[in-house]
Amino acid sequence: MRRLTGVLATAAVATSLAAGAMAQDNDTRIVVVSHGQASDPFWSVVKNGVDEAQQTYGITVEYRAPDTFDMVQMAQLIDAAVASQPDGLVVSIPDPAALGDSISNAIAAGIPVVSMNSGSDVREELGILAHVGQTEFEAGEGGGKRMKEAGVTKAICVNQEVGNVALDTRCEGFKQGLGGEVEVLAVSMDPTEIQSAVKAHFAANPDTQGVLTLGPSAAEPTLQALEEDNLLGNVKLATFDLSPGVLEAIRDGKMLFAIDQQQFLQGYLPVALLTLHHKYGVMPAGTVMTGPGFVTHETAAQVIDLSAKGIR
Amino acid sequence: MARLARRHLTGLLLAAALGAVPLHGALAQGGAPRIVVVTHGQAADPYWSVVKNGVDAAAKTQGANVEYRAPDTFDMVQMAQLVDAAVASRPDGLVVSIPDADALGPSVRRATEGGIPVIVIDSGGAKLTRELGGLLYLGQSEYEAGVAAGERVKALGVTKAACLNQEVGNVSLDDRCAGFAKGLGAEVPVVAGTIDPTEMKGRVAAYLRANPGVEFLLGCGVTASEPALDAVEELQLGGQVRIGTFDLSPGVLAAIDEGKMEFGIDAQQYLMGYMPIVMLDLLARYKLQPLADYPTGPGFVTKADAASVMSLSKQGIR
């Protein structure tokens, strides 16, 4: 194989978490366009995955995201990435209608595209090579099965954005997995309102045995509400996604589990796959599932440690 | 976020659903993860040498300690012993192929029950992997690959095709034909052959003479498609009958490059060697779990990339 000569990246290699690394590869450039800002706790873990893959493979990677959840801006970022003719493009697809054209244009321009985090349903239709992420229905279903194993037959699914297809699907999967009664409790994003809604539900429905929330921003107020009303002894609480508060609650036995989509892999694997694809033309044909992983009492302490390092 | 005191973890067994990942082996001493790969393919075999190249490349990139073991010949007793020895050495991860479930199942099960993360590649299948407690299966689903081929051929406007099977009764090959028929959406007669090229060529020629309307031939392997190409050329049917094949070879790639074959189906076995090392390394270092199977193939090699694949094939990557 032709030897690759190139300038050794200093800072990147010095801070590399990997014990070994490929010789500097100046030939591969990948652009990641995500709807998640690197400052967001969830997305900062994705970005850490991207950064580690970049260091491991010694390639060039650019991470772009709009300042806020703005699909028009995101489509423009994709278009700009395409115009720069990268060797690979990684995208999240929270809104296929808004982003579909830009992605189709990328593929038509001959750019290999791997999607991550969201958009698994549109992969084949758009001609995306592979998807890396968690599928919402299966994740909810897994959560439902776990709750069922814990003895729950009647539960609520707390949804802070009814109408958001991904979140609605999580509740649908949960219902399927539980095989029992599941009511969707529609709430807003306001933690105080979430607390009162949960308390009100249990006042009217004291026989509810389980609660699934769709993220830490709902899990934490829900936990507080259940604690204040002395319901934690009888009610099993679980959530999608991780946060320090969620992990501590699981460690302390106050929450049953969290559904972990291991988003570090959503940053790492697409970069690894597109690097191999650029060099050798190989690519898996399908979806690489990064979730659902389940963090439980047995593993919470380890995950707290990894979470502090930005890996979970 | 506040830093929490690191708990001292010794041999902590995790919940079964996550897959047991006790700290042991090199990692417990803070060294690089150690992974053992045991396959039924000798490194000298062209197909398996590509797998091994993938293993070696990933080991280097990830900085993991990887050992590759295979029996000298297709010997399941020896292979089971190699798996047992690997298990006894308590690696951070094990990669195995399972061409014979009866012969190898017990050894693989001992690995998973002993808390060693196991990834199965190339053969064995997803269901067997789950039954034995493996984390995931990385290979090509022969049936699904056949379906993809059928869809591709259907898109060419083909309605009459035949599937050339050099080993009827070999489930993997039978699945390839069955999937092809499904993807094409039509009945696809199977032309049964043998691995003897002269024999195969004769049978294909006989089929073509008896069925002048056939438009496409799919070979279940190189030993079917290369003789089929000879038959088509001798009968001067190159204009009417197109050929596609499972698997690649220098002959197949040259034919694709020259426009004499439509495509070759690549199992992309380099990924079968490479990706398990990446995933087991990330599992050992960061507790990130490999969760579900994904197929490494089919990749379709066509005229557009045949030349570059030929070059990669010489380097042992395709």
Residue written as token pair 């009459």: B160
Q: How many helices (H) and strands (E) does chain B have?
A: 12, 12
Q: Which of B89, B40, B43, B33 is nearest to B66 (CA)?
A: B33
Q: How far, CA to CA in Å, does B131 sit from each of A29, A64, B102, B137, B277?
A: 41, 42, 13, 11, 22
A176 alpha carbon, distance to own chain's centre: 21
Q: What span, in angstroms and rounded, lies between the C-alpha atoms of B36 and B44? A: 19
Supply B162's token pair: 């035949």
- Over chain A, what is the mean pLDDT? 90
Summarize the confidence of residues A140-148 as an average pLDDT.
97
**Chain B residues whose beta carbon lies within 8 Å of the beta carbon of residue A312:** 286-288
Q: Which residues of B150-182 are buried (b: 16+ CB within 10 A; e: fewer)?
A: bebbbeeebebbbbbbbbeeeebbbbbbbbbbb
pLDDT score of B31 more than 90: no
* Chain A contact present for B299, CB below 8 A: yes
Q: What pLDDT digit, counting tens, does each position of A165-195 carry?
A: 889 999 999 999 999 999 999 999 899 999 9
Three-class DSSP category at A186: strand
SS3 call for B274: helix
Q: Is residue A5's pLDDT more than 60? A: no
Instruction: Please tell me the least confidently modeled range out of A102-106, A286-290, B162-166.
Output: A286-290
Residue B73 has pLDDT above 90, yes or no: no
Contacts (Cβ under 8 Å, ≥6 apart) of A210: A147, A150, A152, A154, A155, A156, A178, A235, A236, A237, A238
Least confident of A159-163, A209-213, B25-29, B240-244: B25-29
Contact A283, B274 (CB under 8 A): no
Across residues B120-137, what is the average pLDDT? 93
So what's the pLDDT on residue A25?
64
The pLDDT value given to residue B291: 86
Please give the residue that has the higher pLDDT: either B21 or B103: B103
Interface of B with A in 147-206 (CB under 8 A): 148
Contact B286 A311 (CB under 8 A): yes
- ipTM rounded to 2 decimals: 0.82
Tokens representing residue A84 in the block: 């720069």
Q: Which of B7, B60, B291 sits opposite A291 (nearest CB)?
A: B291
Q: What is the mean pLDDT of residues A237-241?
A: 96
Distance CA A254, CA A233 (A): 9
pLDDT higher than 50, residue A2: no
Q: CB distance B2–A244 less than 8 Å?
A: yes
User: Are the CB atoms for A273 and A114 separated by under 8 Å?
Assistant: yes
Using DSSP's 3-state secondary structure scheme, residue B235 falls into coil
Q: Is B107 in a helix, a strand, or coil?
A: helix
Task: Return the residue in B14, B136, B288, B317 with the most chain A beta carbons within 10 A, the one to mutate for interface testing.
Answer: B288
Q: Tell me, what amino acid is at B231?
A: A
A16 reaches B (C-beta below 8 A):
no
SS3 A29: strand
**Residue numbers of A between 109 and 138 with CB closer than 8 Å to B:** 130
> Residue A290 and residue B201: Cα distance in Å, rounded?
46
The residues, ordered by sequence, that sit 6+ positions from B296 with a Cβ below 8 Å of its Cβ are: A282, A284, A285, B138, B139, B140, B267, B268, B269, B271, B272, B275
pTM: 0.82
> pLDDT higher for B26 or A247?
A247
Expressed in percent and rounded to 5, the helix, strand and coil fractions of chain B are 45, 15, 40
Contacts of B275 in chain A (CB under 8 A): 284
Asked if pLDDT for residue A4 goes beyond 60, the answer is no
Kindly indicate the confidence band of residue A151, based on its pLDDT and cuts at 50, 70 and 90: very high
Check whether B15 has a pLDDT greater than 50: no
How far apart CA B72 and CA A235 sit, in angstroms, is: 58
Backbone angles phi, psi at A157, to 5 degrees: -115, 115
Is the pLDDT assigned to residue B4 strictly greater than 50?
no
Residues paired with residue B192 on neighbouring β-strands, in sequence order: B165
Could you tell me which residue, A88 or A13, shows the higher pLDDT? A88
Average pLDDT estimate for A101-127: 94
Segment B268-286, tens digit of pLDDT: 999 999 999 999 999 999 9
pLDDT of residue B14 exceeding 50: no
**A248-290 pLDDT tens trace:** 999 999 999 999 999 999 999 999 999 999 999 999 988 999 9
Show residues of chain A in contact with B148, CB under 8 Å: 285
DSSP H or E segment with residue A93: none
Map tokens 């008896």 to a residue.
B210
- The band of B315, judged by pLDDT with boundaries at 50, 70 and 90, is confident
**pLDDT at position B237, please?**
95
When computed from its CA atoms, the radius of gyration of chain A, rounded to whole angstroms, is 21
